[in-house]
Amino acid sequence: QVQLVESGGGLVQAGGSLRLSCAASGRTFSSYAMGWFRQAPGKEREFVTANKWTGGSTIYTDSVKGRFTISRDNAKNTVYLQMNSLKPEDTAVYYCAASESRGLPNLPWQYDYWGQGTQVTVSS
């Protein structure tokens, strides 16, 4: 069982930056693929990025490439999402998720554990 708790959301102006954190419980954190998703009002949950510690694989959705960076600190059981050059269309609730998949999943149903979400609002 893994419990995930996100933090770091808030209100920022367009062009600004935020760093989200996701603290995970569990002793095998390093074996999980960790992902970030987001969901805007009235829209489906959208994949943002994911990282697999084993092999160092990382993927991003096209709309955040070059602006967002996922990283993880296995010693602290924490995964981060650094978001730069934020745009109003990045406004959403951001969710951290953990997957027991051997691959690098990018679909919500492929993830086994979810955090409660943290709101990110980007003003124009």
* DSSP codes, the chain: ---EEEE--EEEETT--EEEEEEE-STTGGGSEEEEEEE-TTS--EEEEEEETTTTEEEE-GGGTTTEEEEEETTTTEEEEEE-S--GGG-EEEEEEEE--SS---SGGG--EE---EEEEEE-
* pLDDT reading at 116 higher than 90: yes
Reported as a single tens digit per residue, the pLDDT across 5-50 is 999 999 999 999 999 999 998 767 778 899 999 999 999 999 999 9
| Alpha-carbon gap, residue 4 to 81, rounded angstroms | 14
Instruction: Give 49-91 pLDDT, tens digit per residue.
Output: 999 877 679 999 999 999 999 999 888 999 999 999 999 999 9
Specify which residues 92 forms β-bridges with.
Answer: 120
Would you state the pLDDT for residue 27? 65
